[in-house]
Structure 1
Amino acid sequence: MTTPLTRARTLTTFPPPVMEARRWISGVTFAADKPLINVSQAAPVEPPTEGLRRAIAETALNLPEAHLYGPDLGLPALRTEVAKSVSQTYNGTVHADQVAITSGCNQAFCAAMISLCGEGDEVILPTPWYFNHKMWLDMSGVKTVPLATGDGMLPDPKQAEALITPRTKALVLVTPNNPCGVEYPQGVIAAFRDLARKHGLALVIDETYRDFHSDSGAPHDLFTDPDWSDTVIQLYSFSKAYRLTGHRVGAMLAAPERLAEVEKFIDTVTICPNQLAQHAALWGMQNLGDWLAGERLEILDRRAAIEEGFDVLAAQGWKLLGVGAYFAYVEHPFAKPSDQLAKDLVQEAAILALPGTMFMPEDDPSGQRQMRIAFANIDRAGIKTLFARLAALVPDGASA
């Protein structure tokens, strides 16, 4: 007899969306002349550069301590490099003791939330939200308060303020956004910082995709404030920048007092970040600046291809709600809800994409009309093919 799960924390949330979508293609055979176009996940599928792979191999062979436990908050050299990089990028001041290295950006979010929230506390998330943020809040007994975005898929600080209660502990922003791709303007970000400070809250800003921002300058001025760490917690991932998704290495920037609490979580869950991954991230930061600049230009070109080629879908009633970094977020013209449409696209068009229902509260009907396209792994030609397949699906019975 299995142990009952009626009180298990995992039952408070939904199955992992990407894993759920992968099950839709299990056992499906795709024609050679119509292979699967997988736009379901925002993760590079190519391996790291040969130089980075060699650096990982040399570290594994020649640095014995890379196979041992390391400091809970990460390698001092990597923390220092991150502080230096952020200070330069944002024209601000960040110190190494304000940096923690984590096992991916998801762990950074979890660590931040557990250091901020207790049972029954509240966190405000703009919708559409990044589903793993919602999942962790569910499993940790924290109430997610959805903040609907408006024009341009941007959150409104005034609307956010109306949602704040005595139980609110944090406001969360993701920019460039997942799932919408939208880059939040500096003024919006600053307004949320001011709002958080006014109410004694944390502003948690997830910048996983900052390396692919369309603006080559600082995306915001949060770090120019000498007191930034009394309010701001920044999250970052090395996975997208250096193709290190499987190595799980991310970062959190926060006050040293906050990181002392985060250290308890890391020590309990992973003890320390992966040592080889940290050396890989450090090598990447020190040696792959020009290469990463080229990757950014390629992603920006794919974004341009989405915008330039969308007319073929617009003619069929599709709407482009947001685009940037790795994502395009769209509204479809079909009568069927997006969760059914996404499954049908596998069979009818050999396309795997995630429905808007995976990024929205169950009681928000807009998710049924929306879909996310993660275009990091399809080039201009692939985008053209994707749009052609979608345009070929005549929306019979579509809603007006």
Structure 2
Amino acid sequence: MSRTSHSFAPPVMAARRWLEGVQFTPDRPLINVSQAAPVDIPPEGLRRAMAEAAMTQADAHLYGAVLGRDDLRAEVAAQWSMAYGGTIDAANVAITSGCNQAFCAALATLCDEGDEVILPTPWYFNHKMWLDMTGVRTVPLPAEAGLLPDPQRAASLITPRTRAIVLVTPNNPGGVEYPSDLVRAFFDLARKHRIALIVDETYRDFDARSGAPHDLFADPDWDDTLIQLYSFSKAYRLTGHRVGAMVSSPARLAEAEKFLDCVAICPNQLGQIGALWGMQNLAQWLAGERAEILDRRAAIADNMPRLATQGWQLKGAGAYFAYLAHPFADASDVLAPRLVRDAGVLTLPGTMFTPTGDASGTRHFRIAFANVDRAGIETLFDRLAGFGGVGRPLAPDAVSA
């Protein structure tokens, strides 16, 4: 068997196939809440900076350092040190071809075939896919109340082959922001067992809280345990340029360099130039983007009562996502294609974020609302509210499962 045969098809691509043969009209266009990537182009100043670099900087078209441009690594280190109240050096930062590649590189430095990694469920499906393709066993950690993972339950899952625990906060797909003390508890657990804690903070720029979301970088020895991942795609709309970051110990980054040199040689130069310009010039603009996302999150809550009367439940909301429990007897993966045909809504079922056979996955949908404004969210809820009579309604306790 091939390594890829151990995994499943990319969920977003699979969901797009549900659109085939379905006609949408001007008075009821498709509402696509299946993917979190922003569809708007970067702001003009950033595009001009990249265009100028393309015309005037020879190195923008050449191979660069495997771990990224020195100026961008230094900027990340300086801004992260200030934001988190800790000490982060440029040598702690690697720039990667997107945050997914940062995750893959981190796992390459940690795991051999047959090792284990603990993933809270519902999980980010690309994390699960990569573990499957590399022969690493995924150990599910079902979320508790509020979609929060429990460190004590995680402790019971650690074995001699456990190499890491992975957290995504703000969470994809659940949207919840993990409390600082919860993240610290997982850090302490990982350090106690001498395993890594990988914290994917792709959506950190849209956290509703002010100040640092955790205090891990304030620990003088943070890099003996913590591996932080980040994406510039969401902050600066650089999705097509593939720029992410991995923050860890210099020794681990030296190991990651071996992996990165084989899969991309170096990150996209123009993307890195754009990311640096964004970090240095777009703080106020990014604050406005955050405010807009927080308003869309509020719009989800504002519109939820009319769905709640039909038995829907909002399990989590934050960053780009809302996680909804539906009231129907049919499973979410059966209902999702019907939503396209009957309601003009493309969304992902919870089965794409949970282990096969997990009943929780059948009860939920992920709504990625980053590209739907407040008016669009109201229309989305109109359509969900009108999606009645599909299957038979469940008892309230079944929806809560």
Question: Do the structures match in fold with TM over 0.5?
Answer: yes
Inter-partner Cα distance in structure 1 for 2:110 and 2:35:
29
Which of 150, 158, 179 aligns to 2:173? It is 179
Q: Tell me if 1:88 matches 2:82.
A: yes
The aligned residue for residue 363 of structure 1 is: 357
The aligned residue for residue 394 of structure 2 is: 399
In the TM superposition, 1:1-400 aligns within 5 A as 7-395=1-389, 396-400=391-395
Q: Secondary structure at the match of 2:156?
A: helix
- Write the deviation string for residues 246-267 of structure 1: whole angstroms up to 9, x where unpaired: 0000000000000000000000
1:393 CA displacement: 1.6
1:366 CA displacement: 0.9
- Give structure 2 stretches of 5+ with no counterpart: 396-401
- Write the deviation string for residues 216-270 of structure 1: whole angstroms up to 9, x where unpaired: 2100000000100000000000000000000000000000000000000000000
Do the aligned partners of 2:205 and 2:290 also contact (CA within 8 Å) in 1?
A: yes
Inter-partner Cα distance in structure 2 for 1:397 and 1:124:
36
Inter-partner Cα distance in structure 1 for 2:270 and 2:22:
36
Question: Aligned AA for 1:209?
Answer: Y
1:27 CA displacement: 3.4
1:28 CA displacement: 2.1
Question: Aligned AA for 2:269?
Answer: Q
1:363 CA displacement: 2.3
Inter-partner Cα distance in structure 1 for 2:393 and 2:55:
59
Q: Secondary structure at the match of 1:299?
A: helix
The aligned residue for residue 3 of structure 1 is: none
1:79 CA displacement: 0.2
The two structures, once aligned, show a CA RMSD in angstroms of 0.6
Inter-partner Cα distance in structure 1 for 2:158 and 2:277:
42
Question: Aligned AA for 2:69?
Answer: L
Inter-partner Cα distance in structure 1 for 2:284 and 2:47:
17
Do the aligned partners of 2:34 and 2:366 also contact (CA within 8 Å) in 1?
A: yes
1:315 CA displacement: 0.7
Inter-partner Cα distance in structure 1 for 2:21 and 2:47:
33
1:398 CA displacement: 1.6
Q: Secondary structure at the match of 2:182?
A: helix
1:29 CA displacement: 1.6
Question: Could you state the TM-score of these two structures normalised by the residue count of structure 1?
Answer: 0.98
Inter-partner Cα distance in structure 2 for 1:286 and 1:26:
43
- Give structure 1 stretches of 5+ with no counterpart: 1-6
1:116 CA displacement: 0.1
Question: Aligned AA for 2:366?
Answer: R
1:135 CA displacement: 0.1
- Write the deviation string for residues 295-325 of structure 1: whole angstroms up to 9, x where unpaired: 0000000001101110011011000000000
